[in-house]
Each structure stands twice: as structure tokens, then as C-alpha cells.
Amino acid sequence: MSGQIDNLPPLRDVIARHGLRAKKALGQNFLLDLNLTARIARQAGPLEGHDVVEVGPGPGGLTRALLAEGARQVIAVEKDPRCLPALAEIAGRYPGRLKVVEGNALEADLPSMVRPPARIIANLPYNVATPLLAGWLLAEPWPAWFSSMTLMFQREVAERICAAPGSKSYGRLSVLSQWRCEAAIAFEVSPKAFTPPPKVTSAVVVLYPRENPLPCTADALQRVTQAAFGQRRKMLRQSLKPIGGAPLLEKAGIEPERRAETLDIAEFVALANALKS
Ligand code: SAM
């Protein structure tokens, strides 16, 4: 358990010594089990020879696993300055391999901080998890600056990311994620694994960027998915009225009586291209 792989103190002691009482506003639910953090670190493949971007290292449980698993360099962006002394101790144990950046990951220029190949691996703060993912999915240029993303979400969000057409969870996030990445849930994590425990079960999702996503612009794809899923129970000829309605559907070769949740990624891409033409 904690503290044995790297001769650093157990995380419970680190949290107590630095007074890191979890703040809800920062989405702080810490992982203290280094076996679990090692499992997350290994999920997308080997870390040797890779830079790793971690958002929200907190007291450093996952950071320690990333370093112990052989990441060439970890770039860890943390908003809470109270965590910096604990992270400095980890940096001391792994000289030159941990760069801590204090700030808001939503505003950080992450691509400029890494040397490829790079992976993103994080137990995300739930309050900003979806905007962070959307930013990475819509990165330009594509193929992206990262070769994989291993991310912890609330299970319900993880299911939306990976959902297939026709399922209840299928929506805008599924289309954007699967347009540009192959996405799958790796495993679920019980609330008991966190300190303090969140209200819901979590899940680790692994996303691999596609080299050649079906060609369309992110902007057009966002517009069609927004209109279609904004009124997901309506037929598309109705929900898509503000952006082109039946003529748009005809151009894309899609029957106007269908509903958003029945369309696969290729059909949404056809709609996005019809919107542009
Ligand atoms: N990685 C640690 C772990 O697994 O135990 C902590 C994970 S905790 C769910 C989320 C972390 O993200 C917290 O340390 C929090 O302070 C940090 N955080 C919250 N919002 C952030 C933001 N906008 N940018 C960077 N870090 C943020």
C-alpha cells in the first residue's frame, strides 16, 4: 500500500502534515491507494519515453504512480496552492522529472509544455471535467498533441462519452468523443476509494485519438449535434429547423422522421458537411 514503492510517506500522513482538507469547490476527492493509482497510470500503455500531463495532482497519489511507472516527465497543473509543498517533496524524490505548474488547467497552454509523445492521465476535478475533455477533443491541429487520454469521470459522464447510438446515454458528448477518438470504459471505481468519498461511482475512460477522423469541421459538427440533441425526442425535421430542417436532411441523405439518438457518427458528419456546403 501507500508509501512503499517510492519511500515517500503514506498519503494519509502527507495530507495531515500539509493540512490538505478537501475543498468541494475544487472537486477534491483524493485517491490514497497507490495500487489503484498505479492501475490508472498503466491503463493506456507504457509510460517510459512519454511525457504525461496530469490535471489536478492534489497531494500527489496519481503523480507518484506516474513517476514510479517510468514517465519521462510529468507536467502537473494544480489550482490549489496548498498542494505545492507536498508536490515539491515528490519532485525532490524524482529530480528533473516533475514539473508543477500552479494555475487553472482550463487556461493553461498544455501543448507548449510537453515534448511528444505525450499522454494525458488524470483524476479530474468533476466540476471542470467535461469542459477540459471538450477542449482536448476539439484541439487543432489534429492528430492531437497527445497519444492517449486516461481520465477519471463520474460514471454517468463516462457512459455518455462511450455510449452507442440508440442508447439512453448517447448524446453530444458521445458524438464529439467518438468522432475524434476511440473511447472505452476501462474500469469502475467505488466511492470508497476516495477521501472524502463522492456521492456517485466513478469510472476510468481511455481515449485514443483517431489518426483520420471522418472529415468535417468541429464547428459544424457542434452546431448539428446541439440542434439535434437539444430536442432529442423530436423528429430531426423539427429539431433541425433552425439550421436547415428537411432540405438539410435531404442533402445529407437522412430520413426526416428519424430522431437524433438513432444517428451514428458518420451520419452526423454527413449532416455537418451538408450544413457547410
Ligand atoms: N490527483 C489527485 C488524486 O487523484 O488524489 C487529486 C484529484 S481531485 C479529484 C482534483 C484535483 O484538481 C484537486 O487537487 C483540485 O485542487 C484540482 N483542480 C480543481 N480545479 C482545477 C483546475 N481548474 N485546474 C487545475 N487543477 C484543478
pLDDT tens across the length of the chain (277 residues): 444 578 999 999 999 999 999 999 999 999 999 999 999 999 999 999 999 999 999 999 999 999 999 999 999 999 999 999 999 999 999 999 999 999 999 999 999 999 999 999 999 999 999 999 999 999 999 999 999 999 999 999 999 999 999 999 999 999 999 999 999 999 999 999 999 999 999 999 999 999 999 999 999 999 999 999 999 999 999 999 999 999 999 999 999 999 999 999 999 999 999 998 7
Mutation pick for ligand 1 pocket among 55, 63, 77 (CB with most ligand atoms within 8 Å):
55
Residue nearest to atom 12 of ligand 1 (CA): 56
Task: Work out which ligand 1 atom sits closest to the CA atom of 63.
Answer: 1
| Centroid of ligand 1 to alpha carbon of 46 (angstroms) | 23
Residue with the smallest CA separation from ligand 1 atom 19 is: 26
pLDDT at 4: 57
Joined together, the cell numbers standing for residue 117 give 509523445
Task: Tell me which residue has its CA closest to atom 22 in ligand 1.
Answer: 104
- Cα separation, 192 vs 199, in Å, equals 10
| Domain annotation for the chain: domains and CATH numbers | 11-209 (3.40.50.150), 218-276 (1.10.8.100)
pLDDT value of position 2: 43
Q: How far is the CA of 220 from the centre of ligand 1 (A)?
A: 32
Q: Is the CB of 167 under 6 A from ligand 1?
A: no
Q: Is the CB of 55 under 6 A from ligand 1?
A: yes
Ligand 1: which atom is nearest the Cα of residue 108? Answer: 24
Pocket test for ligand 1, best of 18, 36, 80 (most atoms within 8 A of CB): 80
Q: Is the CB of 58 under 6 A from ligand 1?
A: yes
**Which residue minimizes the CA distance to atom 18 of ligand 1?**
56
Tell me which H or E stretch contains 155. helix 155-162
**Which amino acid residue places its CA nearest to atom 14 of ligand 1?**
58
- Return the bridge partners of 6, or none: none
Long-range contacts of 16-24 (CB under 8 A, 24+ apart): 18/59, 18/82, 18/83, 18/85, 18/86, 19/82, 20/58, 20/59, 20/82, 20/83, 20/86, 22/195, 22/196, 23/80
- What separation in Å is there between the alpha carbon of 176 and the centre of ligand 1? 24
Compute, in angstroms, the gap from residue 55 CA to the centroid of ligand 1.
Answer: 6
Ligand 1 proximity of 35 Cβ (cutoff 6 Å):
no
- 3-class SS at 79? coil
What is the pTM (predicted TM-score) of this model?
Answer: 0.96
CA of 240 to the centre of ligand 1 (A): 38
pLDDT at 239: 98
Atom of ligand 1 nearest to the CA of 152: 9
Cα dihedral: 71, 72, 77, 82 (round 10): 80
Of the candidates 243, 239, 276, the residue with the CA atom closest to the CA atom of residue 256: 239
